[in-house]
Amino acid sequence: MKVSDSHAQTDQIPEQHIVIAGAGRVGYQTAQLLIDYGHEVYLIERDPKTVEKTIDGWTGVVIEGDAEDPEVLSQAEPSQADVFAGLTGDATTNFAICAEMQHLSKDIRTVARVNDPNRENMSNEFIDEIVYPERTGLNATVNRIQRENVQVLEDVTEDINILNIRVHPQSPAAGKQLNEILLPDGSHVISDVDGTEVARPETTLERSRRYLIAAERDTIADVQKLLIGWSRWERWNSS
């Protein structure tokens, strides 16, 4: 078992601690997007060659080992994790790991990948969400993991996303007009999610209301910090 931590040093406190099993194409790309969105990601992979490829340029934690082994899972700090996603290419393995994670951490949310569309709507007591990325796409997988605060609606280009973001009532931007806040360069509020109002400088970001935002990928974490107001970040920032 080997652990590699190449996490870039930052003064931001991550929104969620997410554990992903499987560093293949789906697992790796999902993990990278989640890191771009400001989450802390632990990636577990049993194949040494895949681990070596993943470490190169990776900015998260990689654990080499079999995620079905509780000792390997314990390296990912399951008691601190908010979400576990089993994204290996084998659905049975993903289901088994989700069950084990539920045993290790009762409050964790679990997401399992299936490779058969007929299993996409099945129910399982140990799994909160089931995804079939081959049909729904990578963004849908990320949305299931992030849940309700942020949803990626569309990749406009390789580097620009349209986000559906709910303004958290305690976020720094809540209740303020756009001309009173400093959005990151490379981001722009388009409208409210209902499309009833095109955003203008005098538009007020109402608490708990959703807005459509165009954002370059490297600005997404800062947009979230401004509009969602990560609870951990707020505690750290006020101390």
* Strand boundaries in the chain, DSSP class E: 2-5, 17-21, 40-45, 61-64, 83-86, 109-113, 129-131, 150-155, 160-166, 187-192, 210-216
Q: Where are the alpha helices (DSSP H) in the chain?
A: 25-36, 48-55, 70-74, 91-104, 133-136, 138-146, 220-227, 231-238
* Domain end residue (candidates: 92, 116, 146): 146
Q: What is the count of structural domains for the chain?
A: 2
66 and 32 in a common domain: yes
125 shares its domain with 10: yes
Mean pLDDT, all residues of the chain: 82
Domain containing 113 equals 2-146
Tens of pLDDT, residue by residue over 163-193, are 888 888 888 999 999 999 999 999 999 888 7
Query: Is 40 or 120 the better-scoring residue by pLDDT?
Result: 40
The model's pTM is 0.62
- Position 232 confidence tier, pLDDT thresholds 50, 70, 90: very low
Residues 21 and 138 reside in one and the same domain = yes
Q: What is the domain-level CATH number for residue 14? A: 3.40.50.720
Are residues 35 and 134 located together in one domain of the fold? yes
Kindly state whether residues 181 and 78 are assigned to the same domain.
Answer: no
More confident residue, 116 or 146: 116
Structural domain ending residue among the three candidates 105, 130, 146? 146
Neighbours of 196 (CB within 10 A): 7
Let me know the angle formed at the C-alpha of 105 by 123 and 229, rounded to the nearest 5 degrees. Answer: 95
Same domain (yes/no): 85, 42: yes
Same domain, 122 and 164: no
Check whether residue 116 and residue 229 sit in a common domain: no
Whole-angstrom Cα distance, residue 220 to residue 149? 13
Q: Tens digits of per-residue pLDDT, 47-104?
A: 999 999 888 877 789 999 999 999 999 999 999 999 999 999 999 999 999 999 999 9
Contact (CB, 8 A) for 27 and 20: yes
By DSSP bridging, strand 83-86 and strand 61-64 are: unpaired
- Residue 169 exposure: Cα atoms within 13 Å on the Cβ side: 1
At 159, list the tokens.
Answer: 């580097």
Same domain for 52 and 141, yes or no, is yes
Q: What is the pLDDT of residue 1?
A: 52
One domain for residues 195 and 124 = no
Encode pLDDT of 19-57 as tens digits: 999 999 899 988 988 887 778 999 999 999 999 988 887
Q: Identify whether residues 167 and 83 lie together within a single domain.
A: no
Same domain, 68 and 173: no
Interatomic CA distance for residues 118 and 28, integer angstroms: 24
Locate 13 and state its tokens: 């406190």
Structural domain ending residue among the three candidates 93, 113, 146: 146
